[in-house]
Structure formats: C-alpha cells, structure tokens
Amino acid sequence: MPKKVISGILFVLPAITLAYATLPEQPNSVSTDQSWLQFLLEKANKGDPNDQYYLGLMYDNGEDVPQDYNEAFKWYTKAAEQGFLKAQYNLGVMYHKGEGTTQDDKEAVKWFTKAAEQDQKDAQAHLGEMYTNGKGVPKNYEEALKWFTKAAEQGQKDAQYNLGERYHKGQGTTQDDKEAAKWLTKAAEQGDAQAQHNLGLMYARGEGIPQDYNEAVKWYTKAAKQGEAFSQCNLGLIYLNGKGVPQDYNKALNWFTKAAKQGEASSQCSLGAMYYNGEGVPQDYNEALNWFTKAAEQDDAGAQSNLGILYYKGQGVTKDYVEAYKWAFIASMNGWDVTGLKHELFVEMTPAQIDEGQKRAKEFISKKEKEKANDSGSPGLK
C-alpha cells in the first residue's frame, strides 16, 4: 500500500517568551518588620527602573505575589519608559500577547525595536519574526534578515533557525542552502527540534551539504526524541524502506505510532498500511481502518484512497460501495491516482449510488475548504 513522504522542509516560528532574571538579594538595610515587597514598592515608586522591572517580573510570574498581568504591565511600562532594556522587551511581549493590555502589534514592534537597537538578542529575534509575518509592520524580508542576523550572531537559537529559513527560501537574500545548513546546524546543536528536523532533511537530500543518511538519522532522532512528529514520521519511513539503515519494521512501527498518536497524518496513513500488510505487527484490518480513517479525515490523499479500498473489499468494515466511491472521489480530487478502484466501482454501482457517493464527497470537500479558510485567518505567531 502507498506510504506518504514528507515533501518539504518544515519551518515554524517559535513562540515569544519573556526575559527572566533572578531577583536581587534582600539588602541588609531592610528592617525585619518591612516586607521585601514593600521595600521594592518604595524604591519603585521613587522611580528606580531596576526595581520597577523586578516588580513587573514578580507580578508577571506570580512570584511571592498573586499573578497579575495588569500590575506587571504597569511596572514594565514605567521601567521601559526610562530605557530599561529587559522591561522594554517584556513590554513588547505583553503587547503582542495582549496580556495586561489590549493586543497591539504596532506597540509590540515599537518596544521590540527599542530593545533590539540596544542589542537585546531576543528582541532582535522577535522583531525579525514580526517583519517576516507582517505583524505590526509591513512584511519585509530584508528587515527580517537584518534582525535575525544580529540575534543569530549573538547565539540566539530561534534567530539562527529562522535565518536558516530565510537562506533556504531565498527571502530577503539570495537562496543559499549552504548558508541555510550552517545556521540550522548552529540552532540544532543548541537543541532546537525544528532545526534538527530540517537539518536531517538537508542531509537526506544533500541540500547545501553532502548527502549523508547517517547524519540524517542522527538529527531526525534528536528531534524525534523531543517529540517532533515529522522527524518521527521520517524515521519511520527510513526504517521501513531501509534507506541508509538496515530495514527494521519494529523501529518503523515504533516511530510511526509515536507520530500518529500526535495526529501526524502521513504517519497515520503509513501505520495503517503496516497493519494492513502485517509488517512488524500481526495483520489487522480493523486497526488499518482506524488509522486510515484518522488520516483521511485530515485530507491525506493516500489514506483516502486506502480507505476506499477497505470499504470496497469490506476489510475491517462492512462492504459499502457508496463510502468507497466517496473516498475514491476525494482522493482523486486531491491528486491521487484511483483509476483502477473507480473502474471496479463503476462496474458494481448503480447511477443512484454513484450520485450519492459524489454528494458525500462534495460535502466533505466543502467542509475542508471552510476549515482551511478559517485556519488562514489565524495569527502566525503565538
């Protein structure tokens, strides 16, 4: 049965995180009847930006005080307006997330820029992301590249990852897989799972670096152990097909199962195929049906074709030509060759059954189109 492969490099922008710091030691001058919070409040109210920042951090994280984003926002603002670097960055985060204030990407960009211009690497990295996605500023890959480079050169792993993406896609610069591999390696060596996955893909394909399946397996495995579903899927495919490693159905089954349980559709399809064929596991049409259905519902064309076959043959399910035609029709609309299956169904079905199959297929396709339209309106950053 057909198994799906991952066809493209996955690039995901990381979530924005706050800058953290350790609260200073309580000074000896503080009397025993005066609380640490009161001491900070007194200094902060006198305009000390350092203590204003720490108060913001305490309220932000709920450390020694109830978590209160409004209070955090207030104190970050006071410190940021005095030029306190970490407060400027954290204030940008709060505006971007809408925590303690109305969500406002323009204000987020304003404060990220102030911090970035003082060489705050996290602010530079996230400013690059804002320019990449056109959040709060017009989309500008050249500006994104500039800020990603500044942060990446300071060792900021998210920026290294995204700089690799820019070079791979040729966005804001000339396409250069050698540079892409260089920056992905730096991020991967710092433990970034997406960078490890993409580096594995580049080794598997010989893009920007010599093709090396051992290196591909090495980086896929690092990412897969962090739960990266696409690396788990690709490891499954490598062990299933013996690509650069000895064929091992048990390892293939293990990795496909891990990814499939995370909802990764290609792995669900491949896992279904292993149960259907009895590869590394006793043949089980019911389990095949289960996993093909999960993948087909996610619009995986190979799984849709396979599901059509199960309904046509009555394997793991009651024979149903209308459902078989429905899934064959959907698979064909998604570019899968189901000529043979459709021909066999035409021989067995009445015109009324074919019409019903097409009706069900069109309802499914319409539902998926609506879901995709809704997804396209979601923000690019978390």
Distance in angstroms (rounded) separating the CA atoms of residues 75 and 70: 9
In a domain, 22, yes or no: no
Distance CA 323, CA 328 (A): 9
**Confidence (pLDDT) at 144:** 97
Q: Do 313 and 364 fall into the same domain?
A: yes
Looking at the fold, whether 280 and 304 belong to one and the same domain comes out as no
Q: Is the pLDDT of residue 75 over 80?
A: yes
Quick check: is 204 in a domain? no
SS3 263: coil
CA separation for the pair 176, 164 (Å, rounded): 9
pLDDT value at 85 more than 90:
yes
Across the chain, mean pLDDT equals 89
Residues 231, 262, single domain; the answer is yes
Number of domains in the chain: 2
Measured distance CA(225)–CA(219) in Å, rounded: 10
Q: Are residues 314 and 363 in the same domain?
A: yes
371, 322: one domain = yes
In a domain, 248, yes or no: yes
Confidence check: pLDDT of 30 > 50: no
Q: How far apart, in whole angstroms, are the C-alpha atoms of residue 38 and residue 16?
A: 31
Do the domain assignments include residue 329? yes
> Could you report the per-residue pLDDT of 268-322, keeping only the tens digit for each?
999 999 999 999 999 999 999 999 999 999 999 999 999 999 999 999 999 999 9
Q: What is the pLDDT of residues 149-194, one digit of tens each?
A: 999 999 999 999 999 999 999 999 999 999 999 999 999 999 999 9
Residues 276 and 237 in one domain: yes
In a domain, 198, yes or no: no
Higher pLDDT, 222 or 6: 222
Residue 326, domain extent: 299-375
Q: What is the mean pLDDT of residues 60-81?
A: 94
Amino acid at site 191: G
Q: What is this structure's pTM?
A: 0.82
Percent of the chain with pLDDT over 70: 89
d(CA 151, CA 134): 19
**276, 318: one domain:** no
Would 330 be classed as within a structural domain?
yes
Q: Residue ranges of the alpha helices (H) in 226-350?
A: 229-241, 249-261, 265-277, 285-297, 301-313, 321-333, 339-348
- Which pLDDT value is given to residue 137? 97
User: How far are the Cα atoms of 68, 106, 169, 381 from residue 123, in angstroms, in the given order?
Assistant: 23, 14, 23, 14
Mean pLDDT (whole number) for 139-143: 97
376 confidence band (pLDDT: 50, 70, 90): low
In a domain, 322, yes or no: yes
Is 239 a member of any domain? yes
The first and second tokens of residue 343, run together, are 């021909």
